[in-house]
Every structure is written in C-alpha cells, then in structure tokens.
Chains A and B, each alone.
Chain A
C-alpha cells in the first residue's frame, strides 16, 4: 500500500506544473539573474588584484629591479610593473592605466594620482623596501661576501610582506549570501508540496481528501507515503538547484560543496514539513491556503535577507530569537557557517536546528491531521 501510494505521489508530483515552475524553473531564472547582477561586483570592487605601476629608472638600482622581478614571479603578484621613461609613465598615470609611478635613483620615490587603499599599499611597500634596503646595505658593508644572499633575502621578505591574507578558507564574497538565500527559498517553497499532503488526505479540505478517507488505506500510511514522496521530489529539486548554481553558474560555495547538498536536502525537508504543518491548520480553500503559504514563505525569506541583504542583521539586532526559529534564516545560516567557519560546530548546530524544526512540524502536522471524522465537510 505504502509503495503504491508513493509511486503515484511521485508520478503526480513530477507532472505538476506548479512544482516544476516554483521549485525548478523559478530558482534557475532567479539564480541566473543574481549571477548577472552580482556575479562580477565582488571581483571588480572587492577582490584583490595586482596593482599596475610604472617604474622609471632615473639611475640603475639592481637590487630594486631584482625585488620587482621577484615579486612578479609570485603566483598572485601584488604588483604589475612596467618599466618606462618619465613621459610615458606620466601619460599612463594620467590615462588611468597605472596607479603610481616609482622613481628609482639614489632614493626611491612614489608618485600617485589619487588616494586610496591601493595607493596606500604602494606607499607602504616603498617604505618597507627602504627600511629593508638600509638593513641590507648595513649587512653588506659588514660582510661583503654575503651580498647576494642579503639581496635575495631582501627580495623575498619585501614580496611576502605585501599579500592578501584571507579571513576564511571559504568564499569571502558577500554577494554569495544571496545565493544561500535563494537555496533557502527553494527549500521553503517545498511547503507547497507539503500543503498538498494535507489537502489530499483530509476529508474536510477537498473531495479527493474525502475520497481517500473512504478507502481502506489507513490515514497514517497515506500521509507517510505522501510525505516520503514529497521529500523525494524536494530532494530532486534541491539537487537540481545546487548543481545549477555550482556547476552551470559556477557559484563558488567554498571547498565543501559535498556538504552543501545534504544541507540543501535537509532544508528542503524542513520546507515540506513546514507546509505540511501549516496546511493542516486552517480550513480554507486550496487556492487560499496556497497563497497564504507562499506569502508566509516569502516573508520568512525576506526576513532571512533574500530581498535585502542586511535584513537578517536588522532582525538579529532587534528580535534575535526570530532568526533561530525562522526556517529560511536557519537554512541560509547553515550554508554560511559551512562556507565561512573552519570548524563544523556552528554548521552542525544549524543542521540539528533544521532537523528539530522538521520533526516538530511533522509531529504537529500529524497531530492536527489525526482527526478521522469531521463536524462538516
């Protein structure tokens, strides 16, 4: 009986247009829009890249040239140097092709056009070089036979002093949060399939519910089979969504993508359970119930930051407990913890919260659907 109902639940679900639109097409379209809108903002504005500079050698400085060459050989060099004469360098600076000119003579000087982080980095680099150069010169004067060794050391120390130090091993792109929220939204939309379980099994909600209640299939078996079917359908949708984001849109979910999948699937189960519980609460028409449920889901997604990135922070500041019970926020937090934190403590804590919320919704859904006879249908 269980297998028979499950088989047809899956067949019915896979052919339901609403499910395909909201759980597969909608996130694909929205994810693509997010990618177009936010995809290159981080790379253009916040991700560190080599600073283009021109070097004007007013007199030969072999040690400095060696340091620059050493820096450029690095995997991610912080300088991209062009050796040029003064006029060409100044034209490049005016044209915005470079961010500074380094003049090498007896002294090393820097000319920049604007003030900013990258210009400050250049200034810091020059100052550090000067300090290290003085130390090196003192060392050479003391022991001339070690001159080459001292210059090599000067090169490596100066190069390594200017580099990007990541705060996390994950993807630090703040716009990735939108994609976490998108996955959370798909998970929450699982509530639509959850709602159909109650409609299909409660005699007072639909003629089909009444018809099913006339059959010799126990209600608990019916509901369990439908829940299992919905979980499977939601799992398929979550896998499609994450795969599309990770492999087609190339969204960087950090180095633990293999954990994103089970987290998304558990999130989907939370969404279905939420719909199952809310669907069993009030006796209103299927359309009204669907509209109410989608509205609640969207509201929860809004509170988790889907539409406004700082919304979750605002809620955390004013009603902190709400983020801990908002399924959408818990799901997106789970991905955030997975990406940002090295250890698994917070991630596991979020998984446990999701599982607990799901179990609570399922139990409450069963309790409210348990009625066998109705006062009116």
Chain B
C-alpha cells in the first residue's frame, strides 16, 4: 500500500534567469490523492510537465513506478492518465469519438475499449451528449469530457492539472466527487490547484509551492499545525477603546489583534474557550457588538504565514 509511485529528487528547471523549480523533492505513495497547491506561477504545471517528460530540466531525477521517466517510457505512460489544464479534445470529433480516440492510444483491444469508453461516459455523466461536438458543450461539460478522455483507459496514476478552472459549482462538485471515486477504485491521484478549498476537500497529502519551491508538505492537519494560528475570532464592533483593546490583546493564547473596518479580529494560538474570554471582556465593559464568528485556520493561513502573502488573489 505504501509503495512509492512518484519520486522527484532535487529537480531544477530554469527559464533563462528565472528559476521555475528550485531543488524540488517529492515522494508520492500509492493510493494517495496528492495535492500540489500554490498560486499561479508557483511551478505546479512545470512540475507536472517535467513529470510527464514534456519539459527538459536542468537537474534532478524523476522516477515513476520505480523506473526513470523518459519521453520514450511508453510502458510507464500506459499507466498514466493525464488531464491537462487546457481542454485538449478534437473539435471535429464527437464526445464518444474523442474518448475513443484517446482511449485507443492506450487500449488496443476494440471490445475492451468500447466497454471502457462507455464506462467513462457514464462516469462523467455525458451519456446524453455522446453524439455532441465539443463546441456544443458548456464549460463544465467540456471539462468532464476532458477528464473522461484522460481516465477512460483506467490508469493507475492520474494527473489532473487544475481541472476545475472556469467550471460552475455543480460541475466542480461532480468532478471532485469523481476524483475521490477514482481514488477509491485504486488510482493514485496528483491534483494541482490554486483553490485551497478543493485541495482541502479531496487531498490526503498536500505540498504547498511558491516560486518553484516546496514550502510545506503534509496532511492538511499537519500543515495547519505548522503555524501559530489555531483560531481567528472576528467581532463586528463600531468602536473599541484602546484600554479594552489592550486588555483583549493580553488575554491568554491571544498573540495578535486587529481593529479595522468596524471589525475586531483576534488571533489565537492554542488554548480553549478563547471566544468566551474575549466576549467576557466586552460584556464586562458594556460594549455592544454585532455578529461574532470564529474560524479555524485554512491552508491560506498556512500559506500566508509561511510566505507572507495570500495564496490567491481576492478576485479568484
């Protein structure tokens, strides 16, 4: 169960003066859903392209299924399903024909292929669209077709590079459920995204990347334990005197406070009943306040604390 599927050792990739991958090490075990999380330009897709032997690299080794990966490693490629960031289908072939084309590059037996294609169509729920041409499909359906083309041959390793970009929430959920199902059926999955919610939802282990470097790696709980923040309390309040703000800042386990835009934000590290203690201070000083909410740390907090910047832009 714990066999290593992918081993990346000291990978360096430069584009001129720009270091796209900076001494990257990764080890992905069989049965994992491994997430590569990072902002745009952090090196996720470059890592995938090096992994697939599409890109040359300056230094390092890549092994897949215990063998060195090269462009002519056809026996390895046979076991990999690839879902690219861009939809890669033929505009002039129908849904069925597109899936059959890509499946046929892996599976020679026609009867077996027909069966696999039907299963893939069923899996992505495109049964009603099998004779449709891609240009007639919505963005979400097109993404599902892209996935079906990548997984129809039942690969042992599935690489998905940002498969949910520009997809509606309904299709996104269907895609994420599908990935988990593929994993339950035995496939090892590598999933790249800059959507932390998706990675948190489906990945069993996560590597956070920034500027071509792996800045953290572990399960989501392990990652969250790496940072000081364990709880963030936000209280809507119009005004708060300095002395009361200081009192809150001096409470046990509170390591930082922020008052801005009519909100008091209290950052806590460890401890229990932090919210109760903060509210007690406000009530004792007879300060009225609005909504109160508390949040556990997210991967964005992890990224923020490690790199000093947010994982993705607000408009994302």
Kindly state the separation between the CA atoms of A377 and B51 in the bound complex, as whole angstroms: 14
B105 touches A216 (CB 8 A): yes
Q: Is A372 an interface residue (CB 8 A)?
A: yes
Q: Are B54 and A215 in contact (CB under 8 A)?
A: no
* Least CB distance, A44 to chain B, in whole angstroms: 46
Q: Which A residues fall within an 8 A CB radius of B? A: 1, 4-5, 8, 11-13, 15-16, 203, 207-208, 210-218, 372-377
Report the minimal beta-carbon distance from B79 to chain A, rounded to whole angstroms.
9
Which residues of chain A have C-beta atoms less than 8 A from B106's C-beta? 215-216
A-B contact pairs, 29 of them (CB 8 A): A1-B105, A4-B101, A4-B105, A5-B104, A8-B104, A11-B92, A12-B93, A15-B93, A16-B92, A207-B86, A207-B88, A208-B88, A208-B89, A210-B54, A211-B88, A212-B105, A213-B71, A214-B77, A214-B80, A215-B77, A215-B106, A216-B75, A216-B77, A216-B78, A216-B105, A372-B70, A373-B53, A377-B49, A377-B54
Contact B55 A211 (CB under 8 A): no
Q: Say yes or no: A376 contacts B15, CB within 8 Å.
A: yes
B248 within 8 A of A: no
B291 within 8 A of A: no
A208 / chain B contacts, CB cutoff of 8 Å? 88-90
Which has the most chain A C-beta neighbours within 10 Å: B74, B75, B88, B106?
Answer: B88
Among candidates B87, B93, B104, residue contacting A4 with C-beta atoms closer than 8 Å: B104
Interchain CB contact under 8 A, A216 and B54:
no
Beta-carbon contact of A375 and B55 below 8 Å: yes
B217 at the A interface (CB under 8 A): no
The residue that A372 contacts in the complex, of B53, B85, B102, with Cβ under 8 A, is B53
Interface size class of B (residues with CB under 8 A): 20 to 34
B16 CB to closest chain A CB (Å) equals: 9
From residue A304, how far is it (CB to closest CB) to chain B in Å? Answer: 31
Name B80-103 residues within 8 Å CB distance of A: 80, 82, 84-90, 92-93, 97, 101-102
| A8-B93, A8-B101, A216-B105 known; A374 vs B74 contact (CB < 8 Å) | no
Q: Do residues A374 and B101 form an inter-chain contact, with CB atoms below 8 A?
A: no
Given A211-B84, A217-B105, A372-B53, decide whether A8 and B97 contact each other with a Cβ distance below 8 A: yes
Contacts of B71 in A (CB 8 A): 213, 372-373
CB of B190 within 8 A of chain A? Answer: no
Nearest B residue (CB) for A15: B92
Does B1 touch A at the CB level, under 8 Å? Answer: no
New A-B pairs, 13, CB < 8 Å, besides A8-B93, A216-B74, A372-B71 = A5-B104, A8-B101, A11-B97, A207-B84, A210-B54, A211-B88, A215-B102, A216-B75, A372-B72, A373-B53, A376-B55, A377-B49, A377-B54
- Taking Cβ atoms with an 8 Å cutoff, the residues of B that contact A are 15, 49, 52-56, 70-72, 74-75, 77-78, 80, 82, 84-90, 92-93, 97, 101-102, 104-106, 108
- Let me know if A373 and B55 touch, CB within 8 A: yes
Residue in B49, B78, B89, B102 whose Cβ sees the most chain A Cβ within 10 Å: B49
Contact partner of B54 (CB less than 8 A), chosen from A11, A13, A213, is A213
* Residues on the A chain within 8 Å of B86, using CB: 207
B54:A373 contact, CB within 8 angstroms: yes
Q: Which 8 A-B pairs have the closest CB atoms?
A: A372-B71, A207-B86, A211-B88, A15-B92, A215-B105, A216-B74, A373-B56, A4-B104
Q: Which residues of A contact B70 (CB under 8 A)?
A: 372
Give A204's nearest chain B residue, CB to CB: B54
Most buried by A among B15, B90, B102, B108: B90
Which residues of chain A have C-beta atoms less than 8 A from B54's C-beta?
203, 210, 213-214, 373-374, 377
Nearest A residue to B149 via CB reads A211
| B interface: dominant SS | loop
Please indicate the chain A residues that have their CB under 8 angstroms from the CB of B49 in the complex.
Answer: 210, 377
Looking across the interface, which residue of chain B has its beta carbon closest to that of A375? B56
| Distance from B155 Cβ to chain A, minimum over Cβ atoms (Å) | 11
- The answer to whether A377 and B55 touch (CB under 8 A), given A215-B102, A217-B105, is yes
Say whether, besides A1-B105, A218-B72, A8 and B88 are in contact (CB < 8 Å).
no
Least CB separation from B54: chain A residue: A203
Most buried by B among A1, A214, A374: A214
Instruction: Report the bound CA distance from A288 to B106 in whole Å.
Output: 33
Cα–Cα, bound, A208→B90 (Å): 8
A212: chain B residues at CB < 8 Å are: 105
**Chain B residues with CB below 8 A from A215, complex form:** 77, 102, 105-106
Residues of A within 8 A of B105 (CB): 1, 4-5, 212, 215-217
The residues of A that contact B89 with a CB separation of less than 8 Å are 208
Determine the distance from Cα of A203 to Cα of B75 in the docked complex, in whole angstroms: 19
Distance in angstroms between the alpha carbons of A245 and B85 in the assembled complex:
47
Complex alpha-carbon distance, A207 and B49, angstroms:
11
CA distance A367 to B84 in the complex (A): 27
Tell me whether A214 and B75 are in contact (CB under 8 A). Answer: no
Give every chain A residue within 8 A of B104 (Cβ-Cβ). 1, 4-5, 8
Query: What residues on A are CB-neighbors of B85 within 8 Å?
Result: 207
A244 vs B51: C-alpha distance in the bound complex, in angstroms?
52
Closest beta carbon of chain A to B213's beta carbon, Å: 19
**Minimal beta-carbon separation of B106 from chain A (angstroms):** 6
Most buried by B among A212, A215, A217, A218: A215
- Min Cβ gap A12→B in Å is 5
User: Do A214 and B92 form a contact, CB below 8 Å, given A8-B101, A373-B53, A377-B54?
Assistant: no
Q: Which residue of A lies closest to B14 (CB)?
A: A375
Closest partner residue, chain A, to B93 (CB atom): A12
B74 touches A218 (CB 8 A): yes
Set of chain A residues within 8 Å of B15, measured between Cβ atoms: 375-376
Q: Which residue of A lies closest to B77 (CB)?
A: A216
